[in-house]
Amino acid sequence: MAERTVAVASRVGLHARPAMLFTQAVAASGVPVTIARAGGAPVDAASILFVMSLGVPHGEEVTLTADGPDADRVLDELVTLLSTDLDASEADAAGGAS
């Protein structure tokens, strides 16, 4: 079983758009992935409801685990996704339209 820890970079944490993009990436990977806050129980990372229910704020570290032949590659891709501010393009676009 592979495991990675990453700080959530999105300024709103894992809510709304960042949670949607993350769970879609997990589902598309075809690999079972869980996500957990420090000291918390892991939940299915492909479920937007479970991910949003964690209430992960900006900057908090989460632990991802996966099992399978592509687990390391998938986790590396998910770490890259979570370490990016997934709200930046939306916020910048709104700021630029003013």
Q: Which of 70, 66, 67, 59 is nearest to 6 (CA)?
A: 59
Distance of alpha carbon 35 from alpha carbon 50, whole angstroms: 9
Count of C-beta atoms within a 10 Å radius of residue 9: 17
Residue matched to tokens 């399978």? 68
- The active-site residue, picked from 13, 15, 25, 33, is 15
Task: Find out whether 69 and 13 touch, Cβ atoms under 8 Å.
Answer: no
How is residue 40 written in tokens? 């918390």
To the query of whether residue 15 is one of the catalytic residues in this protein, the response is: yes
Residues belonging to the active site: 15
